[in-house]
Amino acid sequence: MLKVYTLTQHGNTIGTINIPKDLVATSGDIVNENGNGDVGTFLRLVIANSDPIYINVADLVEYNGVADSDEIAFTDVNHQISGSIKVDSIGKNKLDSAVQTSLGLADSAI
């Protein structure tokens, strides 16, 4: 047992509550197979007195797809989303005013 609580009344023991160790995770790691031959990315939790539990990482994120914007191109490969800034898409006018001022001074110094 993980913990045993003793219940008393007027100094007499009237019962005990046993908290079992059965559902206590003893370790965990990230694996690429779930024990049944399914390939992917899984969290494997090793449970005391039980078989490991596998949680598919793809199930942890609600996935609705990705869309490009004017400045950023998004790609999705196997639920791995990445984004990159499109060439010449972010002009000086979209930068912070302090950065614009600094770039203006650099341009005029040239």
Q: Which residues pair with 43 in a beta bridge?
A: 30, 55
Distance CA 47, CA 4 (A): 20
Q: Is 82 helix (H, G, I), strand (E, B) or coil?
A: strand
Give CA 8 to chain center in angstroms.
44
Q: What is the pTM of this model?
A: 0.41
DSSP H helices in 43-96: none
pLDDT in tens, the chain (110 residues): 567 888 888 888 888 888 776 667 788 999 999 989 999 889 998 887 778 889 888 777 655 555 667 677 777 666 667 777 777 777 777 788 888 888 888 888 87
The two structure tokens encoding residue 101:
């001022």
Domain assignments of the chain as residue spans, ordered by start: 23-60, 62-110
The DSSP letter of residue 95 is S
